[in-house]
Amino acid sequence: MQFNVPRIKNILRGKISLMDIYIVNQLSIFFLFSVGLLSSLGVAIGTVSDLADKITEYQLPVSIAILIFGYKLPEYIAYALPISVLLTSLIIYGRLSSDRELVALVSFGISFYRIITPALVFSLIVTGLTFLFNELIVPTANYQANLIQTPFIEQTELNLQKKDIFYPEYELKAVDSFSSPRKLKKIYFAEQYYDQTLQGITVIYLVEDQITQIVTAKSARWDRKQEVWDLSEGKISQINHSIEDIITKNFINLQLPLSATIFEIARKKRNPEDMNIRQAKEYLNIIKDSGKKIDIVKFALRIQQKYAFPFICLIFALIGSTLGAKYSYINRSKGFGFCVAIVFVYYVLGFTSDSLGITGVLSPFLAAWLPNILCLIIGIWLLVTVNN
């Protein structure tokens, strides 16, 4: 690599220079290689053996297995993007340091902050791509992968989510020093949701914490026009606690003005990984009054993690470039070792903060962003150390 004074002046002025183009080209080539390698390894390890088991155990058609393989690939590409940024910055800046190219740049008066700027700008672009990829492609692909295997495998996660659906409905009441601001009004239970129909319905009415009526039915559909439930083949049991009497009436078809919330829960319920941010927020808004504290916290945490995860690309670029510049002996094999160690530490931090968030020790926002904050502090410390 050769330098001349005019170009160096442009660098000092902050303009796009030969140095920027050269470093970004080096980063881009190895980054694409890393994404291809890591995503291929990930999908091979995480999906192929699982699909092979399903083909032999559940007679899953090979054509469906190939489709599932294709649908799962975007998820592993999304995981590979930040790791590839880390590996690329480690190896490229390590090579620049070992070849004394960084020494040459510093000898012209260029600060190390300016030298790693191309890596940070490059990582910002990858951050945006990671966010868009996780929002527009990965959730839909994951959901389709789960959807196309449900006819062949009864106990898929998607099938299980459509079974044993429970929803408590509350009403607000006057708040005083001796009572809760919420009162349980109805309890809804359905054995299964299939083809926009709830099956095996039980609705329990409560007044002052006492059961006053129980409605059971073989199935129920939501009538959007009239905003009522269409129940079929069931019975209504009226309970009179004063005389300890139960009056039961059977019906073939019945319409009741009940809430549509349980239909919305059944229709939209899926893994957070199968939802984008908009879908996750919609579902969180539906269940926020359900009393399911763990589910509410979990979805609030997953939403924040969807915002936080792409920014690890920027932090990994900062850590990778500073480590690569500091340790000139980092080659490809050592770069892989450093990369594995850093990713392991990050995921340990992520698992720990995730657990603290779900148990309520940390807020969802802090639990999602804490690993990024800690890694950013480490990256800034490394940067200051290298520059001194």
- The predicted pLDDT at position 11 comes to 45
DSSP string, 214-227: EEEEEEEEEETTTT
- The predicted pLDDT at position 101 comes to 77
Tokens of 234: 């069931």
Q: Which residues pair with 319 in a beta bridge?
A: none
DSSP string, 12-68: HTT---HHHHHHHHHHHHHHHHHHHHHHHHHHIIIIIHHHHHHHHHH---HHHHHHH
Which residues in the chain show pLDDT less than 70? 1-16, 154-161, 172-181, 242-244, 290-291, 328-333, 335, 387-388
- Can you list the alpha helix ranges (DSSP code H) found in the chain? 5-12, 18-43, 49-58, 62-98, 101-107, 112-115, 117-136, 138-149, 157-161, 261-268, 277-287, 293-308, 312-326, 332-358, 364-387
* H or E segment to which residue 177 belongs: none
Neighbour-count burial of 370, counting CB atoms closer than 10 A to its CB (0-12 exposed, 13-18 middle, 19+ buried):
buried
- The predicted pLDDT at position 1 comes to 44
- The predicted pLDDT at position 323 comes to 86
Domain spans of the chain, in order of start = 5-151+303-387, 163-267
Q: What type of residue is 217?
A: A
- The predicted pLDDT at position 3 comes to 46
First-to-final CA distance of the chain: 25
- The predicted pLDDT at position 15 comes to 62
CA distance 326 to 319: 11
Tens digits of per-residue pLDDT, 254-312?
A: 888 888 888 888 777 777 888 899 988 988 888 877 667 888 898 899 999 999 999 99
The gap from C-alpha 196 to its chain's centroid, in whole angstroms, comes to 26
The gap from C-alpha 185 to its chain's centroid, in whole angstroms, comes to 33
- The predicted pLDDT at position 47 comes to 84
Tokens of 205: 């009415």
Q: What is the CATH number of domain 163-267?
A: 2.60.450
Tens digits of per-residue pLDDT, 13-63?
A: 456 678 888 888 989 999 999 999 999 888 888 888 888 888 887 788 888
